[in-house]
Structure 1
Amino acid sequence: MNSEIRSLEPKALWNKFADLNAVPRASKKEARVIAFMKAFGNNLGLEVIEDEVGNVIIKKPATAGMEDRETIVMQSHLDMVHQKNTDTNFDFETQGIEMYIDGDWVRAKGTTLGADNGLGVATIMAVLESKAIVHPAIEALFTIDEETGMTGAMGLKGGVLSGGILLNLDTEEDDEIGVGCAGGIDVTATRAYKEEETPEFKTGYEIRVKGLQGGHSGMDIHKGLGNANKIMNRLLFDGFENFGLRISEIDGGSLRNAIPRESSAIVAIDTLHDAVFNAEMSALAEIIKTELKTLEPDLEIVVSKTETPEKIMDLGVQEGMTRALYAAINGVYRMSADIPDLVETSNNVARVIVKEGEIKIGCLTRSSVDSSKMDLANTLRATFELTGCEVEFSGDYPGWTPNMDASILKVLSNLYEKINGEKAHVAACHAGLECGILGSNYPEMEMISFGPTIRGAHSPDERASISSAQKYWKFVLEILKNIPKK
């Protein structure tokens, strides 16, 4: 399968992507890909630096005649989101991504593809390796842990880089030039609870929510996609209100930056309510599927009998938790008043775990306005604290404020229109790019973001457009030739 990918044009880009995708590279587990990148740079005879947090910097001199141009930083992140379908047998720790071609798209077999941000990394690798591409002096910056905290960007110290322009290759629409992004903060609610012995005459059930699209919790948050944690809580709340349903376990969602696709729960109900409970759950499941049928045609809600659990949650804690999850804001909180169609502030109720006397609820709150980000984070904090949870804020990172007067923006805008015969869409995005963080230590550096078209990032539906990659590659080559003089 991957041999098909290597035959795609531009071969330089797709071959490097295939090389990279053979290396497991989960966030916070980047040791192998760091070693891979260092070996790549050393084999080219280039200067290679690994900083104290694990970022890799590879420096390449300008080609002949380009020595008077501004040094550029080409930047992408090494880590990728590891997600797979439940019926996919795949070990991210040991296996490389299995890719295939589907019309104009490159996909992976039941897993995330790693195009986010692997196509950016592969682009830089191809430029570093080439002896024919015209370019100014390059500082290639490969950051770690972008997807779960941006600790690589946060750990990069000032003075390591000398470039005056940064090209971030992490935008997912090929007609878009990114000039700003949202900041984010992790909101985590935890609480211990007493487990009770399950009374007699109870029947055990497993409830499963699956088949949702999922997606990027920033770029896709405005689409109104189903959130498995919110759907599950709706089912549990209804089951308790009508039948005294008691919760034993919940396992919903996965990563904070991925809209939850699946959730499962083990519950117990009075045996005498067996038939009517099944009927009520089936009816409610059909209502939810009807509500979401346009956006989530593959949604499944399965309620099936299972072994009656030995333990259930303390009743008071269960009531408080399900009410808090119902009240917790999920999705778009506020649209930007300044930039049309831009989500300003949002939240993703990303992870819900209830097991063995411990509750953990994880959210990712994003905003391009820091005060609005903290307002929503405090709204969530108050919601969960009212139920007795302890709430922690962590992983706070800033947004990237647009600079509409940047010289590199003018270069890219003019080149895009010249090449494609139409204007690019200059925009801020609701994702978390590393530019805002990097700018805190390099405030004089001009920054811009662009990339090829990618769909379904952070989900097993992730796919990269082949024709867009060709368009993007041509754009990259023209940009490198047209970097302004110092």
Structure 2
Amino acid sequence: MSIHTLEPTAIWSHFATINAIPRASKKEEAIIEYMLSFGKSLGLFAERDEVGNVLIRKPATSGYESKSIIVLQAHLDMVHQKNAETDFNFETSGIQMLIDGDWVRADGTTLGADNGIGVAAIMGVLASSDIPHPAIEALFTIDEETGMTGAKSLAPGWLTGSYLLNLDTEDDEEITIGCAGGVDVTATGALREEATTAYDTLVHIAVKGLQGGHSGMDIHKGLGNANKLLMRVLDSVISEADARLYTVDGGGLRNAIPREATATLACRSADAAGIRDMVKRTQQIIAKEYAATEPSLAISTTQENADDELSVLTVESQQKFVAVCNVAHHGVFRMSAVFPDLVETSNNVARIVLKSGKYTILCLTRSAIQSSKEYLAMILRSTFEMLDAEVAFSGDYPGWEPEPEGELVQLTADTYRRLFNSEPSVCAGHGGLECGLIGKVYPNLKMVSVGPTIRGAHSPDERASISSVAKFWNFFLELLKNTP
């Protein structure tokens, strides 16, 4: 069966089409041009703003002219992640999709259901001739995944709607009414090295097989962080063996929990076997701890001969570097005191790179409370300054404050109950949605977020439920009919 023929075809056919277009964050020009052409091909008003956000307007269908204008919003970019063994070029190839029971997934890469399903659902309504709806402003933002620069750059007056449906929630039982804000924390610096000919062997350590996942929505699940596990292994080695740290390369995007990380140690050939045994012993301890959450965890070693002379970290430098990376907080920092089982504040140690003595450590700190976000960012700054690092804060975006008693929230929940004869989960989420930023520019815009069930977002295990997409589509169309 083809993805194009899955039901509802109004979503899946458009999803398959946009998934053939590379659309990494900050590289969205092709998808921007496609969306403009799509809107114009339907005879609709379509334009882009200076940064690349696309707005398509569609008039109300007959009988719905008196209803309020509704903004339908989703983001065009997707996270590009792949398994190390997958041979795939995101810049030139479309996503290779497959059907696995009730799931659509990709072949060794992220799927792009986050937020491609939302984009495709809006496209389905725009292209329809038989779906009743009020006047629509379809807003497709760019760069949501790596800075939300599209939402940050929205100009006042571009949107005229009274209500906004964000289609970036990833559980079909949830109605999201708030989310965390975030800030990027970046530490950079240089460590002392020394040239030596004493070490004739390189031992490469690789942490692989972790699930990864969304650094907001999955941060509470106890999943392994490859960077943190690698530093734990390195500490066990350098505290006992005569070995020097040469390179580190771990993790990737700030909003993805790291799945893989590697490091290289320089040592004497006579010590290599002992070092590999130390890694194996530590791996066995870690594997036992993570047996339930990371059953595919693998920590392996290989070795090769080294060059005649190497520049490696000094003993003091490597001890300090590994210690600071181990101390840097990863995971849940504080749970919400307002919403049960909701993470309030967290941090993702997303990327660690060390090469030629120079290092970069990237984190994404999230919180529903601005002061708590600032406090954890300060703790991280203090931690990294122990390395004499330059610490920069960037990409700061606000949270979205919930309004549980709002008119649109109540309407959305009532519609869900009527359609499915069950109670929705009306909640705030720990992931970052653009509603907080949009609300800063349009403070009178009433907003909720809904979507189908998506699992493993931001990882190659990303998948979208076929039955849930059908359920979401029915819910979405009913909301369009019933907005005031």
Bin for the TM-score computed over the shorter chain: over 0.9
CA–CA separation in structure 1 for the residues paired with 2:71 and 2:160: 8
Which consecutive residues of structure 2, in runs of 5 or more, have no partner in the other structure? Answer: none
Match of 1:179 in 2: 177
**Deviation, structure 1 residue 196:** 2.3
Kindly report which structure 2 residues correspond to 1:212-227, keeping only aligned pairs within 5 A, or say none: 212-227=210-225
Contact 1:205–1:308 (CA under 8 A) maintained in structure 2: no
Partner of 2:390: 390
Query: Hey, what does 1:318 align to over in structure 2?
Result: 318
1:412-470 alpha-carbon deviations (Å, 9 max, x no partner): 11110011011110000000000000000000000000000000000000000000001
The answer to whether the 8 Å contact 1:183/1:397 transfers is: yes
Q: In the alignment, is the contact (CA less than 8 A) between 1:213 and 1:296 conserved in 2?
A: yes
The match for 2:275 among 274, 277, 282 is: 277
2:200–2:305 contact (8 Å) kept in structure 1 = no
Aligned partner of 1:36 in structure 2 is 34
The answer for the alignment partner of 2:296 in structure 1 is 298
Letter in 1 for 2:403: N
Q: What is the rounded CA distance, in whole Å, between the counterparts of 2:211 and 2:54 in structure 1?
A: 34
Describe the SS at the equivalent of 1:79. coil
Distance 1:31 1:321 in 2: 39
The separation in 1 between residues aligned to 2:240 and 2:247, in whole angstroms, is 19
Whether the aligned pair in 2 keeps the contact of 1:101 and 1:107 (CA below 8 Å) is yes
Q: Could you tell me how far 1:197 is from its partner in structure 2?
A: 1.9
Q: Distance in 1 between matches of 2:249 and 2:44?
A: 47
Q: 1:102 aligns with which of 82, 100, 103?
A: 100
Distance 2:36 2:356 in 1: 43
**What corresponds to 1:475 in structure 2?**
475
Distance in 1 between the 2:155 and 2:266 partners? 53
User: What are the Cα deviations for residues 339-390 of structure 1, in whole angstroms up to 9, with x where unaligned?
Assistant: 1000000000000000123100000000000000010000000000012111
SS in 2 for 1:243: coil
Aligned amino acid, residue 181 of structure 2: G
CA shift for structure 1 position 6: 1.0
Letter in 2 for 1:340: P
**Structure 1 residues 187-211: Cα deviation after superposition (integer angstroms, max 9, x where no partner):** 0000023432233244210000000
Superposition deviation, residue 269 in structure 1: 2.0
* 1:240 matched to 2:243: no
Distance 2:276 2:7 in 1: 54
Q: Secondary structure at the match of 2:229?
A: helix
**Post-superposition offset of 1:408:** 1.0
- Would the aligned equivalents of 1:236 and 1:245 in 2 still touch at CA under 8 Å? no
CA distance in 1 between partners of 2:47 and 2:376 (Å): 39
Q: In 2, are the aligned partners of 1:243 and 1:270 still within 8 Å (CA)?
A: no
Match of 2:150 among 124, 145, 152: 152
Match of 2:128 in 1: 130
**2:111/2:460 contact within 8 Å kept:** yes
What residue is the counterpart of 1:86 in the other structure?
Answer: 84
Aligned residue type for 2:189: R
Counterpart for residue 143 of structure 1: 141
- Equivalent residue number for residue 426 of structure 1: 426
Query: How far 1:177 sits from its partner (Å)?
Result: 0.2
CA distance in 2 between partners of 1:306 and 1:80 (Å): 38
The one-letter code of the counterpart of 1:463 is R
Q: Which runs of 5 or more structure 1 residues have no equivalent in the other structure? A: none
Structure 2 CA distance, aligned partners of 1:313 and 1:113?
40
Separation in 2, partners of 1:50, 1:307:
55
**Equivalent runs, 1:333-482 vs 2, <5 Å:** 333-482=333-482
Q: Which amino acid aligns with 1:170?
A: D
Find the aligned partners of 2:210 and 2:58 in 1 and give their Cα distance.
44
Partner deviation per Cα, 1:228-249 (whole Å, 9 max, x = no partner): 0000001111111000321111
CA distance in 2, matches of 1:307, 1:88: 28
When normalised by structure 1's length, the TM-score is 0.98
- What residue in structure 1 maps to residue 44 of structure 2? 46
* Residues 201/268 of structure 1: CA separation in 2 closer, same or farther (3 Å cut): closer
Greater than 3 Å deviation, 4+ residue runs: none
| Residue identity in the other structure for 2:283 | A
Contact 2:199–2:306 (CA<8 Å) still a contact in 1? no
Residues 38-79 of structure 1 show CA distances to partners (whole Å, capped at 9, x for unaligned) of: 010111111111011110000000001101101000000000
Asked if 2 retains the 8 angstrom alpha-carbon contact of 1:178 and 1:429, the reply is yes
TM-score (normalised: structure 2): 0.98
RMSD: 1.0
- Match for 1:289 among 265, 277, 287? 287
1:68 — aligned with what?
A: 66
